Structure 1
Amino acid sequence: MIQVEHTKRIAEIEAVKKANSVKRELNSIQAKVEFQALILQFFLQRRFQHVLIATRFYRAVFTDGDTKLNVGKDTKDLFEKSSGLPPTVGTIDSMANEALRDVREGVQAYNFLLEKQELESATKRLGEAFTVGEFVPEIRTLPREKKRKALEFAHKTNQLVSAIDVKDYTLAESLVKDLGVIAKDFDSSKPMAAIDTSKQISDMHLAKARNAALKGDNATLEAELTAATELWPRNPALAELSKKIFQTGDIQQKAVIDFEQLLSQKNYRQIFDDRARFIGALAFYPDKAAKLKEVLDNVQTIEVALMRADEMVRQNNYPGAWESVEKIAQQFPDDTKLSKTRADLTPHAADFVRTLQDAQDMEKRDQVGSSLAYYLKARKIYPASDFAGEGVDRLVKKIVPDSNN
């Protein structure tokens, strides 16, 4: 009986031992899985130094030589495609080491290129190193001043891309110059080619728009301005031309109003004085342009008569000067300059004027003899007088109807 109980007790103890052994195995497997998950988490977080510590601690704790990672099929395929090796603790360790080496070399290259002022290449190297090892000490301890140089270059290049996208070529050209100063290896040929080409084509459209504006071709003007705006919206020349066109439109409209007002007032002299303004403004209004031409021709006739009178005054021929002005004054009695000149000449040719006016008054009263005498007297004062000669001819025909004199 005692033997049976002893045997039974031994069997129970063996069962407990086996159960504990199984538990240990399960706990060991669970610990491995959790540890491997932690290693993978560090690796995916790019905390490569943590990965190295974890992998080496893993080997020290689990000495059974089983370093195979217990991962799903997708993760396994990812590792095999990226590294060409099966996912193991050793693979993770070597990849972390490689990443650390790449980051350190990237930072060293950045510092070297920064000293050479080759900021474009330096910024690329730093970006590559940062992408791989954001938490690596070489990245974390890099001086902020050096980081800001790369940030400045990246900011300006992004701003350049945006400026070209929105076709702000003035800003883009300024940024290209700035980048060329801070980065010796910056290639400005491509952005400058795009900038110069767009600016030249825009200026060509503006030139065509100016010609169209001068010709009054509004359809072409609008089309060329639209094309120039699409190519270079912030072109200073475009803004200047648009401003001039708007100002010209306002000036033109005001000139038309002024012309109509002066014409209604019969102030032809003022129209003549401002002819340069009216000629351009009325070019698009044929009916008004015709009236302007008539006014200018008439005033030009007056000016010729005044010039002829001035020449006679220089010759002390005041009666002739007065008569020259008087002839035109009868056609254009409202011209102020003509009226003033006639008034100025009248005192200098008083005898001739008085005699001629007396002759004309007597002719109107049908006093033929007296009128003829005064006309002859006036012709004696100024033998070349057309007024006196015509008066004599009229009266002679009255006295002797068949006379040719």
Structure 2
Amino acid sequence: MATKGEVIRCKAAVAWGPGKPLAIEEVEVAPPKAHEVRIKVVATGVCHTDWEYLYASGKGMTYRPFPLILGHEAAGIVESVGPEVTQFSPGDKVIPLFLPYCGECERCRSAKTNLCRKNWENTQAGVLADGTSRISHQGQQIYQFLGVSSFCQYTVVPDTSLAKIRSDAPLDKVCLLGCGVPTGYGAAVKTAQVEKDSSCAVFGLGAVGLAAVMGCKTAEAKRIIGVDVNPDKFERAAQLGATDCVNPRDYNEPIQEVLQKMTDGGVDYALECVGSPAVMTAALEATTEAWGTCVIAGWTETEVMDVKVIKILMGRTLKGTYFGGWKSAIDVPKLVDDYMNKKLKLDELITHNLPLDQINAAFDLLKSGKSIRSVISLQVDT
């Protein structure tokens, strides 16, 4: 493209400090360096994790450096590649990844995990491999959230943190495969390995939880109970496979006791998709003794979960999952194929489509529970 090797000036939603609304600014995006790819971001989902790092920084979330460009669930087109990049070319459709896949380390070679650590410490700190960001504003470095920063019309990511996808995929839909949907769906089908005719409870019916419901249905679970304090989400959950939906606020007893009674002793699988230690405890205690499995998919970094040892001693399994257990760069293209082949639903999770200059409205919709996923169009004049 004509912009190869040049600094690109474009619009971005910048977080100048924790707790402050995002500001639309003109930023400069530098060309990619070795093993880096610059992409034109077409669409990005607004994930609850983005909200948490802005408004709950230093509470349940580890403090990130500011100024910061959030966003990590996106899809776009390769604009240019840096030296030594061999797997991507300008024009490729891609999904940037907050979880890398180098394909060479012990973890990438193992079938037991997807937790590659290539450039991990740097991207967690908001910079790329050389310790700096590729995005700046009037000479000031802007940190890149998880090494991605998709609330920007262009961004630069490591070539190990990028998935090439099929050319006919709609970017404003498959952007959801950058975070929420793989996390919830994989929590059910990969990490929990939900079995046919089993009983499941999904705690939290946001995008991650609804994806977990879809995963339970794909695994042919007999009973899928959705749990949420917002009953407005129940109809959508039922459409995606939930057989029952319950609101903890409708009961005087703890929700885990309600679920135990509903299932004659507890569910076979519980999937926690909220990120609350109290909900995590409830999810574990909602499982049946002897073989119940609880998978934590909700995100919190600094809080402590309360676990009664007897709950584990009686045969329950407590597991965590990151990005649903998928090996990012090789599994995301397969998930795109599943969507294109109508095996995986994404459209049903998108409740709002907004331009970049309405990013704060998207946060408000998310926090109020009025949206499942808002998709931001980056290439609209703001």
TM-score using structure 2 length: 0.18
Structure (1 or 2) with the greater helix fraction: 1
Higher RCO (CA 8 Å, separation ≥ 6 residues): 2
TM-score using structure 1 length: 0.17
Structure (1 or 2) with the greater strand fraction: 2
The structure with the largest alpha-carbon Rg is: 1
